[in-house]
Amino acid sequence: MDADLRQPLRQQSWRDRLKPFALTPLRLATALVLLSAFGFVVWSSQTYDPALGEPVVHLQIEPAASANTALITTTPQDEAVAPADAEQPVEDLETIETETAVIVAPRIKLVRAPADGLFEKGSDGPLPKLSSDGRSPFDVYARPVHKGILQSSQPKIAILLGGMGINGELTSRAIKELPEEITFAFAPYGANLQEIIDDARSRGHEVMLQLPMEPFGYPNSNPGPHTLLVDAGAKATAASLSWLLSRFTGYTGVVNYLGARFTSEMKALTPAMKMLKDRGLVYLDDGSSPRSVAEETAAGIDLPSRQADLLIDSESNFNAITAKLQKLEQLSRNGQMAIGVGTGLPATIDAVQNWAKRLEARGILLVPVSAAFRSPSG
């Protein structure tokens, strides 16, 4: 040791530096133990089985066959909907849940218009008519509604948006974005009306025709050409109505456009309503005029008629329309089918689209306007 202390400092060789790490039997055994432990951890992580130690059965799962299903319903369907069979593809079926039933049925496809036997050639274009076997345009062109829905005790709401066909962009947006159950009313003055209506009906929307009727203040307030006028007389009214009814085909009935004065005069209203009845149509009063005698007039000649409960967009802003829709919900919970009417303007489309998304969660069924003309028994 003294000799080492007396030697001058010298640089260590690589061999001297590695001497402390020389492999000894103890070090070899320790390395093998650590390596084995690490290997076990890796193996365990790759082969972990939560049922380790339990009996395991291995089964071979055959590939699924093409998805076909038989229709199982707990309630009968409306006759206008063809029943599904064992070969009905799943994508052609829809499921509708009510409080009392889960209805599985074919997706609704509206009959193409004009349907055979339901129109005749008029001087201004095709006119709706009753078929020889008693079918009416309403029967054929209305969106089918399952009896299970009509019979359900759940609240039901129907929405009609008018003014369609005037603004092509807004009409196209409403057709594409709003639920199929929304009914559209088309003004008789738009361009390419039949093409647009065919598109709407191909997407499941039933349609009505808006009839321009004389308002108070006419002609300063003028709905448009061929407006039905109080003082026109039965012959002139029939001519104007014939022109209006021939603008397009495929509609279930008519709804007034303005017309506060005309709908308040039973004498003027009666011949027009008789013509609607003879052609197999229904009449909806938009409820905008407290003076309207439309329902009484229709009842007197057995014309199917209803009155809307609420104008949803008297204030054309999103929040106000949403509030009206919520009020419509309250009406529907009183045991009646509530009908709301509005116009296809941007704020209305936005509000109805947003509102309809949450209806099912609130236990409310959205139905077409034609459902209000059908009895719960179908």
Reported as a pLDDT band with limits 50, 70 and 90, residue 34 is: confident
User: Other C-beta atoms within 10 Å of 251: how many?
Assistant: 28
Please report whether residue 44 resides in a domain. Answer: no
The type of residue at 233 is G
Please report whether residue 63 resides in a domain. Answer: no
Please report whether residue 199 resides in a domain. Answer: yes
Please report whether residue 97 resides in a domain. Answer: no
User: Other C-beta atoms within 10 Å of 140: how many?
Assistant: 21
**What CATH number did the domain enclosing 248 receive?**
3.20.20.370
125, pLDDT greater than 80: yes
3-state secondary structure of 89: strand
Print the domain residue range for 124.
111-373
| Distance of alpha carbon 340 from alpha carbon 356, whole angstroms | 13
Helix count and strand count (H, E) for the chain: 12, 13
Q: What is the pLDDT at residue 352? A: 98
236-268 residue pLDDT tens? 999 999 999 999 999 999 999 999 999 999 999
User: Other C-beta atoms within 10 Å of 206: how many?
Assistant: 27
Please report whether residue 342 resides in a domain. Answer: yes
Please report whether residue 265 resides in a domain. Answer: yes
Which is nearest to 147 in space by CA: 110, 109, 98?
98
Q: How many domains does the chain have?
A: 1
Please report whether residue 241 resides in a domain. Answer: yes
| Residues 6 or more apart whose Cβ sits within 8 Å of residue 259 | 211, 212, 213, 214, 215, 223, 228, 289
Determine what percent of the chain is predicted with pLDDT higher than 70: 72
| Distance of alpha carbon 167 from alpha carbon 165, whole angstroms | 6
Please report whether residue 20 resides in a domain. Answer: no
Q: What is the mean pLDDT of residues 111-130?
A: 97
Rounded to the nearest 10 degrees, the angle between the axes of helix 234-245 and helix 266-278 is 40
